[in-house]
């Protein structure tokens, strides 16, 4: 998904900016780090936010690679509150709130960057 976001955003960046920086005497590395990378900040922030959310909510990866209960991630603890003998609903919902809280707080602070990055590659002009 990030490949499509980055490619859509890079296609909207005008080539004239690169050409004018080269005419002004900008080298290749300076062109990339000061001109192009500064324009890619919204999509880099969006990629970081989406990667964080995907990694935080991953269930299958830790289930396969971290078999010991001392190494399990927070979303894995939700799995242990449900058993064939019964479900501890009060502990399950408390754990759900604890698992969702960091993502919600992170989203509240990063919302404008996420929306700017998602919509920047969609507009052509």
| pLDDT tens track, the chain, 125 positions | 888 888 888 888 788 888 888 888 888 898 888 888 888 888 888 888 888 888 888 888 888 888 787 888 888 888 777 777 888 888 889 988 988 898 888 888 878 777 776 676 565 55
Alpha-carbon distance of 113 to 119, in angstroms, equals 10
pLDDT at 52: 85
Domains of the chain, first to last: 2-120 (1.10.3720.10)
What burial class does residue 52 get, using C-beta atoms within 10 Å of its C-beta: 0-12 exposed, 13-18 middle, 19+ buried? middle
> Does the pTM of the predicted model rise above 0.75?
no
Q: Residue 113: enclosing H or E segment and its boundaries?
A: helix 89-120
């Amino acid at each position: 998904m990030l490949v499509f976001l980055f490619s859509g955003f890079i296609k909207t960046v005008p080539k004239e900016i690169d050409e004018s920086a080269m005419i002004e005497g900008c080298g290749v590395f300076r062109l990339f780090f000061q001109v192009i990378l500064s324009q890619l900040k919204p999509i880099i922030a969006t990629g970081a936010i989406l990667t964080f959310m995907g990694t935080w909510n991953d269930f299958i990866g830790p289930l396969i690679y971290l078999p010991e209960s001392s190494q399990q991630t927070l979303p894995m603890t939700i799995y242990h509150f449900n058993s064939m003998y019964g479900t501890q609903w009060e502990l399950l919902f408390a754990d759900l709130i604890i698992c969702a809280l960091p993502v919600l707080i992170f989203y509240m602070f990063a919302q404008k960057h996420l929306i700017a990055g998602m919509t920047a590659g969609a507009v052509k002009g």
